[in-house]
Structure 1
Amino acid sequence: MSDQYGHWVFKKNLGRGGFGVVSLWFNEETQENIAIKECQLHNTSDKMRTWWKAEVDIMGRLEHDNLIRALPVPPELAPEPSQPPKLAMEFCEGGDLRKVLNLPQNCLGLSEKEIRQLASGIGSAINYLHKHRITHRDLKPENIVLKTVAGRTLYKIIDLGYAKELDINSLCNSFVGTVKYLAPELFISKPYSKAVDYWSLGVVVYECITGYRPFLPDTPPVEWHREVSKKSPEDISARYNNDKSQVIFSKKLPASNHLCKPLAEHFELWLQLMLRWEPKARGSSRFNCFEILEQICSLQVISILNVEKNSLLSYPVKKEDSIRDIMQLVSTQTEIPEDEQFLIDTAGFRIDPEEPALKFCSDHLSEELSVFLFRAGMMEIQERDNYNLPSNVNTIVKQPTVLLGPKGHRRAWAETVYWITEEAKIYHRLMLAHGAALLNMMQDNSKLLRQKSKMETEIFQLVACQEFFKNSLEFDINKCKESLEFSTHLNSVGGQRIMETWTELSIRFNAPHSLVERGKSLVEGIADMNAAVLSLQRRPDGTHMQVNKLKEFEEKAKKLYDWFIHANDPDTIDHTKMVNLIAMCFCQRDELTKTLYNHIRNIRDQQTESETIFNASEQFLHDVKEAREQLSTLQRQRQETLWSIIRNPHQQQQTSAGELDNTIQYLPSLSSNLESVQLLMDCREYSQKTTTMLKDMLKEQEQSMVYFSSPENNK
């Protein structure tokens, strides 16, 4: 084969399909890459040639985002008339799924985001094929490739070399496909239908979740069929015990996977449907198995970090659910009452229980955490769930030189990589919780500082009102003395009692003074709290470096695992290096936990104090408002008393007595020991001078009312 035809340049061989070789070609003019699949002519039977032509024909008729897209063969690369047809396809730069699964970080399965994308896409593609009466018959990781489109990974099925067009409910007898992913009926040459794709899809999805195939991987076919046939309809996995004397079946996924709990439970039920031994029962349900899979992959889940236990709580969310509904579930699971649940988002804002829960669900293609749960009040640190090491990891920690066999050795190291990776993720989440708590504290502090400014203004205005009130009383007293000197009518019991009452009020009105002192004390407390908050804003020493250290351990564990699986004689390698990483990870994790939790506890204690002082400041502002209203009311009633004297001098005896009596009764807390004032005015007419004095007093009182109704004038 030449390396160049026209503008098309051969780059490399990509792999082998069912009947041919796939190569990569690059167009120097258009900068386009395409994959060309050519049928191998040597040792090719007539049957294989027929299958090859069928693949080319099928590929040309199909169009689905998750099926490899067929392209026109460039004229420069077209086959000779005597040669079999070529198949041109889009190039998927991400390689095949097998290469992805072999990466150290995926040794125990893909991430939740990747599983959602893969299961949804491949399930949709198989459903599309079945609707077009096509059974793939050879679904496996090697026949799934990855392509990035608009920043999103698409998983595409390739190699339809064994695909067969079937009539509805038709059965086929030919034995094709890859043994490790074959449905059970194919081992005994029983007729089969599209249900074989259900089994293969279930096996692929299980492997992507866990990192290994579900039923006795690497067991010879005859033994495999004999043992796995004993499974119940709901069993989704089987493994040998340590001495290989017994097969252990399970209806659950292993704990070491990257799925949240609700998603794992849904996948378990779906896998029980897809991995049934009997073909007629496989995939059968009241609902289409592909529709069920799509619902699972699009499931909305809210994830909440319970900071006290450093454990993740996950709940499926419906459209009508509110945060209060989620809080009820949290209360049941954690025994934290709803009224003690303090929920904040990543920005540190308190979450309203009436908000829709969907608002706080991460995009199902994202794994970012968005909600953090604290217990209101003082924080109690509890033991974290899943603290123990996985069983295989615990074995090598206790016996670093133990020989577990190639598969057991690999599983133990894979679980170690998973455990160290999870530790880094768990404490990354704890750092996010720390950051959210810090932001929430800063928001509370900003609110307190605004409250402090408001209190200082109110204190200033209250002092000004108090001084103005006292000055007004002094003015009234002086005018009253002058009127008594010029009028024998006022020189009576009533006039004398008015002057005595006002004099006593000016001396004994001390309530605003104690209120002012209380306000000043609160202002000083807020200033001290602000200084403490500024100190807490600094990151705890070394925590960021420790998190980076955990990531370093994760990378070292992955490199050790990669070195192990490529070693010539891996079974002879002891576990010392991996065990050392485990020990160092333990130490760093515990140190990080202690430092972060101490700082988070200090933040929460500060917030508790902040809430207390804020409530006290709110009460202070309420009391200031009442005091100012009392002062304003006193001024108003005194003014009305004087006006009534001018308007009805002949009724001044009754009116004056009633008005002043009401004035004194309005302030029982300010002058509770004052006697009731009875004004007995016995004269019917005032002298001209007394009237003039009263008018002067009223003018001054009108000015005071304007003053009290507009406190900002005091500035």
Structure 2
Amino acid sequence: MERGGPPGPGGGAERAPGGAALQGQPAGGCGPWEMRDRLGTGGFGNVCLYQHQDSGARVAIKSCRLELSVKNKDRWCHEIDIMKKLSHPNVVRACEVPEEMNFLVNDVPLLAMEYCSGGDLRKLLNKPENCCGLKESQILSLLSDIGSGIQYLHENRIIHRDLKPENIVLQDEGGKIVHKIIDLGYAKDLDQGSLCTSFVGTLQYLAPELFENKSYSVTVDYWSFGTMVFECVAGFRPFLHNLQPFTWHEKIKNKDPKHIFASEEMNGEVRFSTHLPQPHSLCGLIVEPMENWLQLMLNWDPQQRGGGLDPETSRPKCFLIMDHILNLKIVHILNMTSAKIVSFLLHPEESLHSLQIRIEFETGISTGNQELLLETGICLDPRKPASQCVIDGVRGWDSYMVYLFDKSKTVYDGPFASRSLSDCVNYIVQDSKIQLPIPQLRKVWAEAVHYVIGLKEDYSRLFQGQRAAMLSLLRYNANLIKMKNNMVSASQQLKAKLEFFHQSIRLDLERYSDQMAYGISSEKMLKAWKEMEEKASQCAQAEDIGYLDEQIMALHTEIVELQKSPYARRQGEVMESL
């Protein structure tokens, strides 16, 4: 049977009465520590959030809620021992138990852990907007964090054995969401023997050899990790997710090693696939390597799972492929003339011009007419490599975009690319009175929600692109006004110099006339002076730049009106994040 909810230090659970005490604590309470939330309940323990009344410090305290057998007392203490010796950013950190709580509950000590305020991964997956999986940026962040945490545990000869969304918590660290592994209550220290034959865990994420009570090794965590990542991509588990493990294991155990997905048709037939199901949020360039990675992680054979060790690096091949996925340099470009996103895998040291040639091939917009803008409205620098389109540490097309405009056009007539309804949603649209079984109805509902949310995100991205264009226009306008002011200043200086020159010429001509009365003259000099006077007069005619000032002011007025329009206002979260 599956255990109860997660005994983890993540937030987001029900509010407990202020000042409620730990079961079994001394009558005097926990001194300045006040219980604020009940974070989770597991097979043996409760996890509660305690906050210090004076300092505001918060800590997650795990206490035993049952009388334990000797074996389970050893397991409880073993978890505390494991937690205390681990130190990794993607494994929840054990803390010193506050002095006021340093007592036994049901004959076992308390476990103090860092408090993670973002709740657990299950809470995130259960949000309606994630019914067809998480965003690409969230998936890649999870892959990086939990992959790193699992490698750390295995390097320290520890198998977790109970990886599942409820045992992954989220922590906001400086505006970045960090995923952390919790609940090592079922972890097995390999120093106790590399193969183990006893297990109680969460069966839906359980590797087949554990389910069958066979011996196992670190590859059990690969299966659980692969199952979790698949669920984050698709919104459901990979193999007959509507069935209980006792049922689906029998139907899946003879699958091809490369099969990563199985669904049951209306007639009861099981359909296998080596590909990820649609819809999902991964861009096309990541899908194939992700499928290759999942094929290694979801191999039924524990000996083959993970791909074995790479002979050159002595690292499991699954983690090499994972690193390859995470290190891909992909630039995502929204073509504002068609509302279509095109993605390019950047070559090492690729120039911006090389990227623009590829963009021209995909979009038909010539390199000379391409205007590539960042979200801030700044143009890409042609002197810098194409990697300026990618921000280090920022992954996923939903988190960072470059906007493509066609300089030869001021109005985009389309046609704009639009989302199409999935077959199952379209089926319901055509016949809204049709009755479907609950699993199929849930699938239709999920894909309909995914479609509507996708439309909203498409709209927000187009708005963001228009805003980038407006910011660019404002920047150009500011530069234009600066240049105009410099030109006016220079014009006024030239005008003053020209007037001074005119006066000098007139004065020289007057003096020359006086000299002629005494017979002193030079026709050549007189001709040169008159030519200079004519040129000065011509310059005086060309020096009027007032009309430029008027045109620039008119343009500025139009831009101010554009800023005031509702179309220039930030729209939703995408706009507010700028």
How high is the TM-score relative to the length of structure 2? 0.77
Offset, 1:58:
2.5
Identical residues among aligned pairs (%): 33
Offset, 1:197:
0.6
The answer as to whether partners of 1:73 and 1:88 remain within 8 angstroms in 2 is yes
**Corresponding position of 2:458:** 426
Matches within 5 A, 1:501-512: 502=527, 506=530
* 1:508-542, Cα deviation, whole Å (9 max, x unpaired): 9977767766665x752563354134214323744
Aligned-partner Cα distance in 2 for 1:108–1:189: 33
Kindly indicate whether residue 383 of structure 2 is the aligned counterpart of residue 354 of structure 1. yes
SS at match of 1:353: coil
The answer as to whether partners of 1:96 and 1:146 remain within 8 angstroms in 2 is yes
Offset, 1:463:
6.2
Given the alignment, which residue of 118, 131, 144 partners 2:142?
A: 118
Q: Compared with structure 1, are the counterparts of its residues 398 and 529 closer, same or farther at alpha carbon in structure 2 (3 Å cutoff)?
A: farther
Q: Compared with structure 1, are the counterparts of its residues 413 and 263 closer, same or farther at alpha carbon in structure 2 (3 Å cutoff)?
A: same
Matches within 5 A, 1:174-213: 174-213=198-237
Given the alignment, which residue of 59, 63, 68 partners 2:83?
A: 59
The answer as to whether partners of 1:455 and 1:519 remain within 8 angstroms in 2 is no
Given the alignment, which residue of 40, 48, 62 partners 1:15?
A: 40
Q: Compared with structure 1, are the counterparts of its residues 392 and 446 closer, same or farther at alpha carbon in structure 2 (3 Å cutoff)?
A: same
**Corresponding position of 1:436:** 468
Aligned-partner Cα distance in 2 for 1:203–1:128: 20
**Corresponding position of 1:96:** 120
Matches within 5 A, 1:437-586: 437-449=469-481, 450-451=483-484, 453=488, 456-457=491-492, 460=495, 464=499, 471=506, 486=519, 502=527, 506=530, 520=544, 524=547, 527-539=550-562, 541-543=565-567, 547=571
**Corresponding position of 1:399:** 431
Matches within 5 A, 1:236-255: 236-241=260-265, 245-252=269-276, 254-255=278-279
* 1:220-269, Cα deviation, whole Å (9 max, x unpaired): 43552344345444443233446654515142463432x45545554333
Aligned-partner Cα distance in 1 for 2:387–2:450: 30
Given the alignment, which residue of 296, 305, 326 partners 1:273?
A: 296
* 1:338-388, Cα deviation, whole Å (9 max, x unpaired): 222112334434322112444442353586546322112224443333532
Aligned-partner Cα distance in 2 for 1:49–1:448: 75
The answer as to whether partners of 2:59 and 2:113 remain within 8 angstroms in 1 is no
Offset, 1:124:
1.6
**Corresponding position of 1:378:** 409
Aligned-partner Cα distance in 1 for 2:48–2:559: 60
**Corresponding position of 2:67:** 41
Aligned-partner Cα distance in 2 for 1:150–1:447: 35
Offset, 1:424:
2.9
The answer as to whether partners of 2:403 and 2:465 remain within 8 angstroms in 1 is yes
SS at match of 2:239: coil
Given the alignment, which residue of 141, 149, 165 partners 2:189?
A: 165
Q: Compared with structure 1, are the counterparts of its residues 472 and 9 closer, same or farther at alpha carbon in structure 2 (3 Å cutoff)?
A: closer
Q: Compared with structure 1, are the counterparts of its residues 80 and 352 closer, same or farther at alpha carbon in structure 2 (3 Å cutoff)?
A: closer
Given the alignment, which residue of 436, 442, 446 partners 1:410?
A: 442
The answer as to whether partners of 1:116 and 1:298 remain within 8 angstroms in 2 is no
Aligned-partner Cα distance in 2 for 1:465–1:213: 86
Return the letter of the residue paired with 2:63: K
Offset, 1:212:
1.6
Q: Compared with structure 1, are the counterparts of its residues 6 and 50 closer, same or farther at alpha carbon in structure 2 (3 Å cutoff)?
A: closer
Aligned-partner Cα distance in 1 for 2:300–2:418: 34
* 1:11-39, Cα deviation, whole Å (9 max, x unpaired): 56433334434344555566543312316
Kindly indicate whether residue 166 of structure 2 is the aligned counterpart of residue 136 of structure 1. no
Return the letter of the residue paired with 2:60: I
Q: Compared with structure 1, are the counterparts of its residues 423 and 81 closer, same or farther at alpha carbon in structure 2 (3 Å cutoff)?
A: closer
SS at match of 1:279: coil
SS at match of 1:185: helix
SS at match of 1:537: helix
SS at match of 2:280: coil
Aligned-partner Cα distance in 1 for 2:400–2:421: 24
* 1:124-178, Cα deviation, whole Å (9 max, x unpaired): 2211111122211111011122333444433222222222223699433335432
**Corresponding position of 1:217:** 241
* 1:95-143, Cα deviation, whole Å (9 max, x unpaired): 3221221122332333344333332222122111111222111110111
Aligned-partner Cα distance in 2 for 1:99–1:328: 44
Say which structure is richer in helix. 1
Kindly indicate whether residue 372 of structure 2 is the aligned counterpart of residue 343 of structure 1. yes
Aligned-partner Cα distance in 1 for 2:511–2:527: 8
* 1:615-639, Cα deviation, whole Å (9 max, x unpaired): xxxxxxxxxxxxxxxxxxxxxxxxx
Q: Compared with structure 1, are the counterparts of its residues 346 and 62 closer, same or farther at alpha carbon in structure 2 (3 Å cutoff)?
A: closer
The answer as to whether partners of 1:137 and 1:176 remain within 8 angstroms in 2 is no
Aligned-partner Cα distance in 1 for 2:489–2:52: 72
The answer as to whether partners of 2:161 and 2:201 remain within 8 angstroms in 1 is yes
Aligned-partner Cα distance in 2 for 1:242–1:525: 73
The answer as to whether partners of 2:137 and 2:399 remain within 8 angstroms in 1 is no
Deviates more, 1:385-394 or 1:468-477: 468-477
Q: Please give the root-mean-square deviation of Cα atoms over the aligned residues, in Å.
A: 4.1
Given the alignment, which residue of 359, 368, 387 partners 1:330?
A: 359
Return the letter of the residue paired with 1:277: W
Q: Compared with structure 1, are the counterparts of its residues 98 and 349 closer, same or farther at alpha carbon in structure 2 (3 Å cutoff)?
A: closer
The answer as to whether partners of 1:362 and 1:368 remain within 8 angstroms in 2 is no
Matches within 5 A, 1:302-317: 302-317=331-346
**Corresponding position of 2:322:** 293
Aligned-partner Cα distance in 2 for 1:411–1:513: 82
- How many aligned residue pairs are there? 536
**Corresponding position of 2:4:** none
Q: Compared with structure 1, are the counterparts of its residues 440 and 541 closer, same or farther at alpha carbon in structure 2 (3 Å cutoff)?
A: closer
The answer as to whether partners of 1:66 and 1:156 remain within 8 angstroms in 2 is yes
Aligned-partner Cα distance in 2 for 1:474–1:383: 71
Offset, 1:91:
3.4
Aligned-partner Cα distance in 2 for 1:320–1:459: 48
* 1:659-692, Cα deviation, whole Å (9 max, x unpaired): xxxxxxxxxxxxxxxxxxxxxxxxxxxxxxxxxx
Q: Which has the larger radius of gyration?
A: 1
**Corresponding position of 1:364:** 393
The answer as to whether partners of 1:424 and 1:547 remain within 8 angstroms in 2 is no
SS at match of 1:108: coil
* 1:534-590, Cα deviation, whole Å (9 max, x unpaired): 214323744368956999xxxxxxxxxxxxxxxxxxxxxxxxxxxxxxxxxxxxxxx
Given the alignment, which residue of 407, 422, 426 partners 1:390?
A: 422
How high is the TM-score relative to the length of structure 1? 0.64
Q: Which runs of 5+ in 2 are unaligned?
A: 1-22
SS at match of 2:448: helix
SS at match of 1:283: helix
Q: Compared with structure 1, are the counterparts of its residues 184 and 2 closer, same or farther at alpha carbon in structure 2 (3 Å cutoff)?
A: closer
Aligned-partner Cα distance in 2 for 1:273–1:169: 25
The answer as to whether partners of 2:199 and 2:213 remain within 8 angstroms in 1 is yes
